[in-house]
Amino acid sequence: MDLESLRREYMKDGLRREDLLEDPIGQFEQWMAQVLGLGIVDPTAMTIATVSRDGQPSQRIVLLKYFDKNGFVFYTNYGSRKAEELGHNSSISLHFPWHNADRQVKICGVAEKISAAESLKYFITRPRESQIAALASEQSSVLSSRTFLLNQFESLKQKFQSGEVPFPDFWGGYRVKAHEIEFWQGGENRLHDRFRYTLQS
């Protein structure tokens, strides 16, 4: 399939150094607020890249749930491939593709598990069905069929139809501590602007 003719023009004014805040977290917060205001679909969706033991990178999309000066937080099953890879190599890259705003943000850093108490605090805010789904799913494991997973979900739904859904000890969050944050803005004539903040030790 030939895709060479597919292109569009970037019509934004570009990005200048004087447009940026000194603090990259503040700059990210500003851009996030702007894309939230645009009504972009899944503005908190980010591609995260991890690396296997043999050096093979893998990517998947997850949702950013919280960020502040201490890092960027997402949640997952601790038995997942991403968690296994982070267990032996904590290096991680996050990428936010805000196409409708002609913007991208790339974050490089290291991921560390957050406390069970912090994970529980978020878990109890999730819709009940999402709590049950986290309990039912053995992420990244091979299933005989989707029916097996659905039956597991329905069984747990019946079991915990009253009272609290127990917090699974195999589920929780990671905090990504950034050492590099890069902001990209599309510009006319493919003259794009890219500014990178790097943590100085």
* Whether the Cβ atoms of residue 192 and residue 12 lie closer than 8 Å to each other: no
Q: Residue 112 pLDDT more than 80? A: yes
Q: What is the pLDDT of residue 142?
A: 57
If you ran DSSP here, which 8-state letter would residue 104 be given?
E
Q: What is the pLDDT of residues 132-176, one digit of tens each?
A: 888 787 665 555 667 777 777 787 777 778 888 889 999 999 999
Measure the CA–CA gap between 63 and 14, rounded to whole angstroms.
Answer: 27
Length of the chain: 201
Q: What is the pLDDT of residue 172?
A: 97
pLDDT band for 89, please (50, 70, 90 cuts). very high
Q: Which CATH number fits domain 1-116+169-201: 2.30.110.10, 3.20.20.70, 1.10.10.10, 2.60.120.560?
A: 2.30.110.10
If you ran DSSP here, which 8-state letter would residue 49 be given?
E
Q: What is the pLDDT of residue 143?
A: 57
Element (H, E) at 159: helix 146-159
Q: What is the model's pTM?
A: 0.89
150: left (phi over 0), alpha (psi -120 to 50) or beta: alpha
Domain boundaries, the chain: 1-116+169-201, 125-166
* 3-state DSSP helix/strand/coil % of the chain, to nearest 5: 30, 30, 35
Q: What is the pLDDT of residues 28-81, one digit of tens each?
A: 999 999 999 999 899 999 999 999 999 999 999 999 999 999 999 999 999 999
Q: What is the pLDDT of residues 185-201, one digit of tens each?
A: 987 777 788 999 999 87
Q: Residue 19 pLDDT more than 90? A: no
Q: What is the pLDDT of residue 7?
A: 74
Active-site positions read: 190
Q: What is the pLDDT of residue 141?
A: 59
Q: DSSP H helical segments within 10-144, as ranges?
A: 24-38, 81-88, 116-123, 128-136
Comparing 1 with 162, the larger pLDDT belongs to 1
Q: What is the pLDDT of residue 155?
A: 77
Cα dist from 36 to 42, 51, 119, whole Å: 9, 30, 25
Q: Residue 96 pLDDT more than 60? A: yes
Q: Report, as an integer, the average pLDDT of 103-129.
A: 96
Q: Report, as an integer, the average pLDDT of 12-27.
A: 89
Q: What is the pLDDT of residue 163?
A: 80
